[in-house]
Amino acid sequence: MAECTWAKLSAVMQEYHDTEWGKPEYDDQKLFGLLCLETFQAGLSWQTVLNKRAAFNRDFNNFDPHQVAQMTATDVERLMQDSEIIRNRRKITAAITNAQAFLKIEATGGFATYLWSFVDDQQIINHPKSDAEVPATSELSEQISKDLKKKGFKFVGPTVIYSFLQGAGIINDHVEECPFK
């Protein structure tokens, strides 16, 4: 049975594909963690991020947005020394800025509620014939990207947000023949 070919790149990618990718997520903290990882992925491979996910979870307090929002310049310097994560100062500071903006949305009824409202609480199902037919952006990712930027988020361009929406299960782009669709 055919499945999404990108998942076959490694055991870590296969596990992510089979258990997380495209499955609807409603937990605010998990959504925040995924958004952070997607921002760190910008310009790199998802394989790299998944390989470093345990270290990211450790260094960012399991992506508890309340704790990340309180990180200081001292924390940024400490993280810049940790070779087990992606050491990009702009991305690290973006995670802190994004935590602060995230908490403002969460306080108005929850981040998941905010995010799923863009699709009327309905998953978008595409099921293309091949990975090559999966877009990098969409009108939805552009709309959410623009709104998040207005709310103070960083590193949330339409491509990052499209990938985030796939990971969060808001968009299900498993190929037609994938048994995990």
User: Tens of pLDDT along 150-160?
Assistant: 999 999 999 99
As for how many domains the chain has, the answer is 1
Which positions are annotated as active-site residues?
16, 38, 46
Mean pLDDT over 48-73 rounds to 98
| 177 lies in some domain | no
CB of 165 closer than 8 Å to CB of 31: no
Does residue 1 lie in a domain region? Answer: no
Q: Is residue 49 part of a domain?
A: yes
Output the pTM of the full model: 0.96
Inside any domain, residue 178: no
To the question of whether residue 17 is assigned a binding role by annotation, the answer is yes
**Which CATH number does the domain housing residue 18 bear?**
1.10.340.30
* Phi, psi (deg, nearest 5) at residue 168: -85, -5
pLDDT reported for residue 2: 64
Indicate the SS3 state at residue 96. Answer: helix
CA distance 64 to 94: 15
Domain containing 69: what range? 7-172
Residue 66 known to bind ligand? no
Residue 181 lies in a domain: no
Gap between the terminal Cα atoms of the chain: 12
Is 2 inside any structural domain? no
Q: Which long-range contacts (CB under 8 A, 24 or more apart) does 64-72 make?
A: 64/29, 65/28, 65/29, 65/32, 65/99, 65/102, 65/103, 65/106, 66/99, 66/103, 68/32, 68/36, 68/95, 68/96, 68/99, 69/96, 69/99, 69/100, 69/102, 69/103, 71/95, 71/96, 71/99
| 127 is annotated as contributing to ligand binding | no
Residue 179, in any domain of the structure: no
Domain assignment present for 128: yes
pLDDT, residue 15, reads 95
Q: Is 36 annotated as a binding residue?
A: no
